Amino acid sequence: MLCRLLIRDVLLFDQLELAFGPGLNVITGETGAGKSILVDALMVALGERTATDVLRSGASKGVVEALFRIEPNSPLARFLADQGYLEGDELLLRRELHARGTSRSFINDSPAPLTLVRQVGEQLVDFHGQHEQQSLLRVETHGRLLDDAGELGVMRREYTEAYERLRAALQEYRRLRERGLELRERQEWLRLRIQEIAAIDPQPGEEAAVDAELRLSEHAERLHALTLRIYELLYGDEHAVRDRLLRVRSLLEELAHIDPRCADPASEVQTWIVGVEELVRFLQDYTARLEFEPDRLERLRQRKGQLQLLRKRYGSVEEAIEQKRQWETELQLADQMELHLEEATREVERWRAELERRAHRLRGERERAARELERAVETALADLGIPYSRFVVHMDTEEPPAGEDLWVEFCGRPCRAFPSGIDRLEFRITTNQGEEPRPLARVASGGEISRIMLVLKSILAKSERLPLLVFDEIDAGVSGRIAYRVGQALRTLAQYHQVLAITHLPQIAACATEHILVEKHERDGRTVITARHLQPEERAYEIARLLSGERVTQTALQTARELLCEFAQG
């Protein structure tokens, strides 16, 4: 609910801080005192567009703050939490307006885009004025309101669940169908690419092995000559290293007989001799395995060419092997696509049948709820002075456009399915005998619109989610007994919502739980609007003024006290 409104240097307010209570808050004041301007300032805080001259003359900056208390775990609380703005159960909306024509918005003292503030405002306040766009005039809200009135929320959610399942099944079917078309077009190409790689039959690591073997085969003669020369140097010719080392060892052993210190060098030379002999054996073995085969060399060169072709096309032999595996999987999927499509088709048919069943059930319950709502609205409007009203919940279906696959069969023909049902719902009304009901938005009389809104809000009060309802001049065109009943209806509505109502009628003002008087004054040569809460005796005087006009009589004052007493007891 709205707890406090602060206005500084905006419109004709220099500094105003006003508290609001639960229940029915009534605003009265003389004609032109600025009652509607107070509501306009509230709408500024809620993100409504403002004129460039909204600042008080001479001010460089204006501020409007609205403090709300919100219910924990409500849709609005969850929305704010998701946006990162929730702080406890209080919500502070602040709008700063600057003389240069710019403005800044804040949610709980954190900067926020104006579009987000408007979204929050739409979940906080429903404004009902003679010329404003109202939530009940938006056709898209009528289906939810009817479902709320008929307590069809569970049934509607069940329908929506089936709708989402059908939508998902259709998406999967379309995906598989498109994929199947792509695969059919690619099948021959896939087979050719797979056969090309399969014909080469590359093996992991094969390219490196072929390169190594090819290098050996291409240099076999040179390798053989080099190893033979090394063998001769170490072992074969008359100056062989091994023979020289044997001679050195013999001399060192002879020295060791004289000087024992030469024993270790002699042993070291023996190690060198053993090393030379091991190297000679390696060279003998290596030479024995060197073979020069022209045919093998040619085959290796051809294989290297094949592997180089794969590397050029796929990046590496390993990537070619992996690509072949992926293409084989893709080709296998193409071969099995018909089976997948048949399964997807069965899933679509299953959920279409389930959606159709739930749509028929929801439509039947909506028709029942619509008849009950129609009777309730017509009865309530008669009590509020509109005796010849006809209220109709118009329900229709829509033929699916070409290519639309979210549909179910209804009354022997396909009709389009929407997330909330198959029905296009619209509230229609006539307030004149003999006239056909028309859409709510086309009802001409502002006073009638306000009373129609009040009736619908009263009937839907327990299910309506918006915490604050604002009625500007709901009393237009009513008086006497009807005004009394309008006041009673507002008071009943205020049991479920906080209500803020601007009125000129004493019968409505007497119903209030909080009475606010708006006045216009001259101060230091400038016009200033003020607003204050009235105490009981002040309320009686203000209601008496509404009864008798500018000159308050004792009779009017007594009548005002009686009105207050009557509503206090009621």
pLDDT over threshold 70, residue 473: no
In the three-class reduction of DSSP (H, G, I as helix; E, B as strand; rest coil), residue 58 is classed as coil
The class (CATH top level) of 1-124+494-533 is alpha beta
Contacts of 300 (CB under 8 A, 6+ apart): 210, 213, 214, 217
How many other β-carbons are positioned within 10 Å of the β-carbon of residue 133? Answer: 9
Structure tokens at 140: 């898209």
Q: Which helix (H) or strand (E) holds 265?
A: helix 263-289
Q: Output 477 or 95, whichever has higher pLDDT.
A: 95
pLDDT over threshold 80, residue 559: yes
In the three-class reduction of DSSP (H, G, I as helix; E, B as strand; rest coil), residue 1 is classed as coil
Domains of the chain by residue range = 1-124+494-533, 183-330, 535-570
pLDDT over threshold 90, residue 514: yes
pTM for the model stands at 0.62
Query: Is the Cβ–Cβ distance between 186 and 334 less than 8 Å?
Result: yes
pLDDT tens sequence across 352-377:
999 999 999 999 999 999 999 999 99
Of 447, 538, 443, 432, the closest CA to residue 486 belongs to: 447
Give residue 52's pLDDT band: very low, low, confident or very high (50, 70, 90): low
Query: Is the Cβ–Cβ distance between 95 and 45 less than 8 Å?
Result: yes
pLDDT tens sequence across 536-556:
889 999 999 988 877 888 888
In the three-class reduction of DSSP (H, G, I as helix; E, B as strand; rest coil), residue 506 is classed as helix
pLDDT tens sequence across 262-290:
888 888 988 998 888 888 888 888 777 76
| CA dist., res. 483 & res. 476, Å (int) | 10
Amino acid identity of residue 320, one-letter, is A
pLDDT at residue number 332: 81
pLDDT tens sequence across 421-458:
999 999 999 888 888 999 887 774 556 777 777 888 78
